[in-house]
């Protein structure tokens, strides 16, 4: 880009990553909401969402309907982009770099390389360093988070179990991540090399994590957050913000629940506010546990 | 003997407030600071200076309204004895008029008499970093690293306002990339201003290792206390 040359100095390569990570920093303390059309996007923006995630079906429906879940129709993404002024994110299948090229062409603000969609490549993730648009990726533990950052992810989220309305997996992943960071901080330098090998993490990123005492990029909770209390729980565990997928638009009163969750993320340590916003929210989303889920749970814990 | 600490509030309802807190913590001993996260009107009453961080201006306005903080913020930023600094979304929130607001408009604190163009460089792909000349800072000959993320700009300054001073311009920018103004090649764009007790920047000094903008803000607070 010619305009990298402004007021005399050329942008450095490290600056390029800090600009990607910087947008995630601006989203902190906020709620990013899944939306499937412009109307839902407007409801989310009016409720105080700091960004929206455009997708074709919310995870709850993907679970129910089965089949292959793919990147959304570009036309739908354009309509959402035209409807709101907050950042618009969208999902691509794991490893599907062409879907990512299409989203970059659409000038999407963030790409989620997401396990919620059907993976396109079982052994390779997208080389996210090749893109100018920043990426967010899911993780279940520290090693996975650092591998994704090494591939260029500028933001991380826990995977949780999307579309269930059950926060237990998001809690498990957050607990695992923080516990592994604490463990790494206590290790000697020799031990850290071994630990990097053990958790399959790039050593330089593990060392940086130890130095910072946290992941080197912004880290949101995702996958099963359904109530203001769930959102505040994830914040108190140490997450930087919250993704809410099916939890909002699969509930009784989406606008009210969305506002309540936004409030809960700001005032996550204040039980008075949490109590007030939790009142009369109507029905929370229904927990769906399919037969396939049960089978999957026993046999494959795929990354 | 140590003087009274300067009480610095950071509006902590959404956005990059921790980044400001981190920079201030580094300056805490030198300036004797008491750093306060402001989420409620009670917390706001205690502070001498307030930073409105980057984030989403629509989100901040909505949460401030639902948290009964909005009216108190309006009073605070209009009080000439309090120093206020808005970065990025903070600039939008402080301004009296904006273009490219969300559908249905958004609430503003209307203290800074400027018109601001939101997302003036477009979406995230238009975000960039550069080096700026900022004459009001310490070592004015040294460039200041400026990070612009989905950044706003000052489109125009209210003609009736006599006290607004431009602190920094963006120069040599590609003409096509800026929305909100009829920008011609080579023309300067306003990206930092001061109006009496208020300073505002389009960019994010809290994302860099250069603390001169934070020092500038703290010196202004020191003068008032």
Q: Count CA atoms closer than 13 A to B143's CA, side-chain side.
A: 14
Tens-place pLDDT, residues B78-114: 999 999 999 999 999 999 999 999 999 999 999 999 9
The SS3 assignment for B83 reads strand
* Owner of token pair 């037969």: A291
pTM above 0.90, yes or no: yes
**What pLDDT sits at residue A56?**
86
**What pLDDT sits at residue A67?**
85
CA dist B13 and B64 (Å) reads 8
Closest-CA distance of chain A to residue B16, Å: 5
CA dist A178 and B173 (Å) reads 43
Tell me which residue in B14, B171, B173 faces A266 most closely, judged by beta carbons.
Answer: B14
Cα B128 to chain center, whole Å? 18
**What pLDDT sits at residue B214?**
98
* Owner of token pair 């990206």: B191
Q: A26 vs B150: CB contact, 8 Å cut-off?
A: yes
User: How many Å from the N-terminal Cα to the C-terminal Cα in chain A?
Assistant: 36
Give me the active site residues of B, please.
88, 204, 206
**Cα→Cα distances A72→A119, A136, A270, A275, Å:** 14, 17, 38, 37
CB-based contact, A258 to chain B, within 8 Å: no
Tell me which residue in B14, B59, B133 faces A7 most closely, judged by beta carbons.
Answer: B133
**What pLDDT sits at residue A62?**
83
Tens-place pLDDT, residues B67-83: 999 999 999 999 999 99
Q: Is A163 labelled a binding residue?
A: yes
Closest-CA distance of chain B to residue A187, Å: 26
Kindly provide the ipTM of the predicted complex, given to two decimals. Answer: 0.94
Inter-residue contact A34 to A245 (CB < 8 Å): yes
Q: B58 vs A45: CB contact, 8 Å cut-off?
A: yes
- Reading chain A (303 residues) residue by residue, the pLDDT tens digits are 333 334 434 445 568 899 999 999 999 999 999 999 999 999 999 999 999 999 988 888 887 888 899 999 999 999 999 999 999 999 999 999 999 999 999 999 999 999 999 999 999 999 999 999 999 999 999 999 999 999 999 999 999 999 888 999 999 999 999 999 999 999 999 999 999 999 999 999 999 999 999 999 999 999 999 999 999 999 999 999 999 988 898 888 999 999 999 999 999 999 999 999 999 998 887 665 555 555 655 555 444
Burial (CB count within 10 angstroms: exposed 0-12, middle 13-18, buried 19+), residue B209: exposed
Q: Which residues of chain B have pLDDT under 70?
A: 1-2, 174-176, 180, 182-186
Counted residue by residue, chain B has a size of 225
Give me the active site residues of A, please.
91
Residues of B in contact with A13 (CB under 8 A): none
């Amino acid at each position: 880009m010619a305009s990298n040359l402004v007021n005399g100095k050329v942008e450095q390569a490290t600056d390029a990553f800090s600009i990607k990570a910087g947008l995630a920093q601006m989203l902190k303390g906020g709620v990013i909401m899944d939306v499937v059309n412009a109307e839902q996007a407007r409801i989310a923006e009016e409720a105080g969402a700091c960004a929206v995630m455009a997708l074709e079906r919310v995870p709850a429906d993907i679970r129910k309907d089965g089949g292959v879940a793919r990147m959304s129709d570009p036309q739908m993404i354009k309509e959402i982009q035209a409807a709101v002024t907050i950042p618009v994110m969208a999902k691509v299948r794991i490893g599907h770099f062409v879907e990512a090229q299409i989203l970059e062409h659409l000038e999407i603000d963030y790409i989620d390389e997401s396990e919620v969609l059907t993976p396109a490549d079982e052994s390779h993730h997208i080389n996210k360093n090749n893109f100018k648009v920043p990426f967010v990726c899911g993780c279940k533990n520290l090693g996975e988070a650092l591998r994704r950052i090494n591939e260029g992810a500028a933001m991380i989220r826990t995977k949780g179990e999307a579309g269930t309305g059950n926060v237990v997996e998001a809690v498990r992943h957050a607990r695992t991540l923080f516990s592994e960071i604490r463990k790494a901080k206590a290790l000697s330098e020799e031990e850290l090399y071994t630990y990097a090998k053990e958790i399959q993490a790039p050593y330089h990123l593990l060392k940086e994590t130890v130095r910072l005492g946290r992941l080197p990029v912004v880290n949101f909770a995702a996958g099963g957050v359904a109530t203001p209390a769930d959102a505040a729980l994830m914040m108190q565990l140490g997450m930087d913000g919250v993704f809410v997928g099916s939890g909002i638009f699969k509930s009784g009163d989406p606008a009210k629940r969305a506002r309540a969750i936004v409030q809960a993320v700001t005032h996550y340590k204040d039980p008075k506010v949490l109590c007030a916003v939790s009142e009369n929210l109507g029905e929370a989303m229904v927990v769906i546990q399919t037969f396939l889920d049960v089978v999957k749970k026993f046999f494959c814990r795929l990354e | 003997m140590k003087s009274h600490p300067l009480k610095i509030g950071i509006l902590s309802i959404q956005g990059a407030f921790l980044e400001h807190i981190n920079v201030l913590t580094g300056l805490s001993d030198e300036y004797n600071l008491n750093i306060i996260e402001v989420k409620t009107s009670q917390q706001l009453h205690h502070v001498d200076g307030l930073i409105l961080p980057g984030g989403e201006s629509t989100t901040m306005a909505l949460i401030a309204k639902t948290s009964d903080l909005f009216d108190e913020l309006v009073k605070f930023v209009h009080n000439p004895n309090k120093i206020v600094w808005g970065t990025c979304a903070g600039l939008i929130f402080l301004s009296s008029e904006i273009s490219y607001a969300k559908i249905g408009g958004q609430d503003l604190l209307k203290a800074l008499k400027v018109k601001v163009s939101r997302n003036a460089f477009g979406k995230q792909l238009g975000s960039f970093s550069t080096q700026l000349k900022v004459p009001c800072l310490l070592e004015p000959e040294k460039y200041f690293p400026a990070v612009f993320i989905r950044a706003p700009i000052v489109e125009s300054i209210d003609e009736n306002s006599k006290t607004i001073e431009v602190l920094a311009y963006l120069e040599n920018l590609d003409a096509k990339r800026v929305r909100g103004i009829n920008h011609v090649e080579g023309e300067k764009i306003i990206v930092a201003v001061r109006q009496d007790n208020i300073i505002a920047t389009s960019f994010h000094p809290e994302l860099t290792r250069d603390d001169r903008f934070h020092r500038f803000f703290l010196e202004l607070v020191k003068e008032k206390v």
